A and B are shown apart, each in its own frame.
Chain A
Amino acid sequence: MSIMTADKQSVRHIPDRLSTPIGRLLGSWETLLAAVAIAIFIANSLASPHFLDPWNLSDATYNFTEKAMIAFAMTLLIISGEIDLSVAAIIALASTAMGAAAQAGFQTPALVGIGLGVGLLCGAFNGLLVARIGLPSIVVTIGTMSLFRGIAQIVLGDQAYGGYPPSFAWFGQGYMSDFSWWPTLPGFEVVTFEMIAFVLFAVVFGILLHRTTFGRWIYAIGNNAFAAQFSGIPVQRTKFILFLMTGLMSGFAAVCLTSRLGSTRHTIAAGWELEAITMAVLGGVSILGGSGTILGVVLAAVVMGLVTFGLGLLNVPGIVMSIFIGLLLILVIALPIVFRRIRSRASA
């Protein structure tokens, strides 16, 4: 029993979009975050006379640049529906390996290679267990979190590695003006190497996620891995690559952090996995996977950096800062939901 529709001849036109670009911009999470960032910036400059000093501001970026590099890769991983809790432990292991290599007399290029290589290997190990064997990533990376940091702890005990070559300091302590061959514009002397890396990675990850086939696969997998598989998308391979990338970015963050601190202890970067995840979630990435943007994470990184720095200038102790970050996260997540509920109740 079936019938034909009578009005089939007339082709109805379907518009591409319902809202205008400006309408979408105004309603977006990113706009809200940008407003929060500006508000905190203004509040900070009112609260402390030292805040607007360019060198202070430049210093402030260290609060978030390294964590944000991990958060970018973590963002892709979370959107795909996975997670990596071992990123901070990878930093510890990579830093330990670099420290040991520096003791053995290796020079800067080799140290960087070792840092990145250890990150890549750790990422491959996570990826293999998740994508190949099919274990849940939260379980795998809770395990490797202890494993990687455990190795660092056995090697280091309560000792510290130091004695990195002087040129190694450049990654974590270098400024734009340190490049003699680079024509530094006036006013840009305060820009650090890490800031440039942060912007560069933001652009690279932004393009990768939002403008490439690979990025589209990530969203499809995170929203419906079955449908993605049924559309011919290589689900497991994509996930493996994402773990590799997260490992590699952790390795890179290890290079920057080790270079900045100039020494390695086994507690290095403790708790960073949660800060990177907080950045991603604050940036609008759904912890259930499937949605989020790099721009949001960039803004979230700036917000968290500004809050930490502003409170630091006011001599607020670290434990209060973490309370503040926690409250901010809950507030920013809860507010839009509460507003939506109020609005729908008003219209009902």
Chain B
Amino acid sequence: MSVVQAAAQDPTPLLEMRDISKSFPGVKALDHVDVALYPGTVTALIGENGAGKSTLVKILTGIYQPDSGEIVVDGKAVHFGNAEAAIRNGITAIHQETVLFDELSVAENIFLGHAPRNRWGLVNWSAMNARAAALLTSIDAPISPYTRLKDLSIAQRHLVAIARALSVEARVVIMDEPTAALSYKEVEDLFRIIDRLKRQGKAILFISHKFEEVYEIAERFVVFRDGRSIGAGLLSQTGQDEIVRMMVGRSVDHVFPKTEVAIGGTVLKVSGYSHPTEFDSISFELRRGEILGLYGLVGAGRSEFCQSLFGITRPSAGSLELEGRSIEIRSPSDAIAAGIVYVPEERARHGAVLQMPIFQNFSMATLAKTTRAGFLRQAEEFALARKYAERLDLRAAALSVPVGTLSGGNQQKVVIGKWLAARPKVIVLDEPTKGIDIGSKAAVHGFMSELAGEGLSVIMVSSELPEILGMSDRVMVMREGRMAGIWNREGLDAETLVRAATGNE
């Protein structure tokens, strides 16, 4: 701990960004921001989506050049004309979704672009594999450098991405939402790695939406809002409420807007749902107006199970009853017709068609409502889109702009709105607030409550314990494809759920 304390008092930053501005046509992404990173210290960069965090990361890694301002490393002003220049200055980044190559080996992925050479200028395979193995050992990752990447789990790929970032002589490590795809236990592993990097004296910029993580791992913080740096300092001297105020520029009303809703009769009855590899014997009843939280580690089979309810994957055994009638779901259109809809976890991949306009995304799943005999009625499509855009408080320049131009939170509103237009009975939300900013998160939570109040039944898959505990009427935990139990909301604590999910009972 002594290094950390020393670092916190150390007034000499390893890297400083001074008065940085960057504009894009029509938007000022960064407006005279200042950020300082100290050796052996984790600095958390906090801000809503669209606050300018990603732009800052891109400037720091040489992908963008700032319009004005300077970057100072070790007291010397530097200029990063390209990504290589940033790496030469010891800056490396682990991105939200690092691009890795499925068909290449772990070692090749780690050293792609800077593989050790032999004297003929060819790749020195033995040196590369040895160095990869050493790197992986240094971060406690039990992965063979010879394995092909496609044979690894998501969490293991993440470790490879970290190893890749550390394979250059880095002194500044940027982690852009590194925990977004990780489960509880994997986050702990990541934090151990960060601790090790800290002890090596590296300066770490940590970007996360999750406050527990920020307070657990970081010493310093910088808050961005609308492209400006609003505040910076030591986390030990700053409360969560204060940071939230800086982030959103308005006061905190309340935590989770879960309202009490009269729970009605059974809407959906799942009996013995099984799949050859992903899940086994899932049985439960979902009631009217109820929010059922579905918790578990990444890979516990939650998404696969939910997708089988929606007709994407077919169960090998089991039956469904909706409002007392037995139904069989063979395709998503069967599910939509029956009144079961699914908001997928991977918004950009499965949820929205980013290149298409907002209004066409809203009407996509319910085109029959805005067509006559198969012919589109554009005015009705706009009307439908407007109705749900207003209901969800969508922030967009126009209904005809592509969904891809919106922030993550607003994209999620479009995906949810698309399904509300289908007037469902059961809505399955798979990680509905993953990677979206705090304001949009609250809107999604408030909305979920509203839907339950209107008599919808909600299944909410989430890996965030506060969300599960805050929003659910009941919580079901899955572990390795099986049900680990169902609990009522009253008196339920996080430890119970984590024990059930990890099997440490």
Contact = CB atoms under 8 A, between A and B. Distances in A.
A159 interface: no
A163 B372 CA distance: 48
B390 A15 contact: no
A14 B398 contact: yes
Interface of A, secondary structure class, is loop
A344 B23 CA distance: 12
Given A230-B344, A232-B335, A5 B250 contact: yes
Most buried by B among A8, A14, A233: A14
A303 interface: no
B97 to A, nearest CB: 16
Nearest to A217: B367
Contact of B254 (A4, A220, A227, A233): A4
A3 interface: yes
B463 to A, nearest CB: 15
A220 B352 CA distance: 10
B256 A228 contact: no
Nearest to B370: A213
A341 interface: no
A187 B128 CA distance: 78
A1 B255 contact: yes
Interface string B316-349: 0000000000000001110110000010100001
Given A14-B399, A17-B398, A226 B350 contact: yes
B217 to A, nearest CB: 16
B466 interface: yes
A140 B395 CA distance: 44
Contact of A4 (B253, B333, B353, B359): B253
B254 A3 contact: yes
Contact of B312 (A5, A228, A229): A229
B342 to A, nearest CB: 7
B336 A6 contact: no
Interface stretch (B35-43, B439-447, B454-462): B439-447
B390 A18 contact: no
A343 B356 CA distance: 25
B503 interface: no
B359 A231 contact: no
B374 A214 contact: yes
A291 interface: yes
B442 A5 contact: yes
B397 A18 contact: yes
B360 to A, nearest CB: 7
Contacts of B263: none
Nearest to B441: A2
A5 B443 contact: yes
B396 interface: yes
A158 interface: no
A265 B390 CA distance: 63
A230 B332 contact: yes
Interface string B360-376: 10001101100100111
B57 interface: no
A227 B211 contact: no
Contacts of A215: 376
B25 A230 contact: no
Contact of A223 (B255, B335, B356, B398): B356
B191 interface: no
Interface string B245-261: 00010111111110000
Contacts of B342: 230
Interface in B221-260: 240, 244, 248, 250-257
A232 B441 contact: no
Contacts of A103: none
B349 A213 contact: no
Contacts of B248: 3, 5
A2 B256 contact: yes
A14 B389 contact: yes
B179 to A, nearest CB: 15
Contact of A291 (B212, B355, B374): B355
Given A220-B356, A220-B364, A230-B351, A2 B442 contact: yes
A232 B400 contact: no
A290 interface: yes
B333 A232 contact: yes
Contacts of A16: 359, 382, 386, 398-400
A233 B382 CA distance: 20
Contacts of A2: 255-257, 438, 441-442, 445, 466, 470
Given A223-B353, A234-B331, A4 B442 contact: yes
Given A18-B397, A214-B374, A232-B336, A3 B253 contact: yes
Contacts of A291: 355
Nearest to A9: B393
Interface in A217-244: 219-220, 223-224, 226-234
B418 interface: yes
Interface string B39-80: 000000000000000000000000000000000000000000
A226 B398 contact: no
Contacts of B310: 230
A231 B256 contact: no
Most buried by B among A1, A11, A15, A18: A1
Contacts of B312: 229-230
A16 B251 CA distance: 32
A180 interface: no
Contacts of A290: 355
A5 B374 contact: no
B482 to A, nearest CB: 26
A1 B254 contact: no
Contacts of A315: none
Which 6 A-B residue pairings sit nearest by Cβ, starting from the closest? A232-B333, A232-B332, A231-B365, A4-B253, A224-B353, A18-B398
19 contacts: A1-B211, A1-B244, A2-B441, A2-B466, A3-B250, A5-B439, A7-B250, A8-B443, A12-B393, A211-B376, A212-B375, A219-B356, A223-B355, A223-B356, A224-B354, A227-B349, A227-B350, A229-B312, A344-B25
Interface of B: 25, 211-212, 240, 244, 248, 250-257, 310, 312, 331-333, 335-336, 342, 344, 349-356, 359-360, 364-365, 367-368, 371, 374-376, 382, 386, 389-390, 393-401, 418, 438-439, 441-443, 445-446, 466, 470
Given A14-B398, A219-B353, 8 more contacts: A1-B438, A15-B397, A18-B398, A216-B360, A216-B376, A224-B352, A227-B350, A232-B331
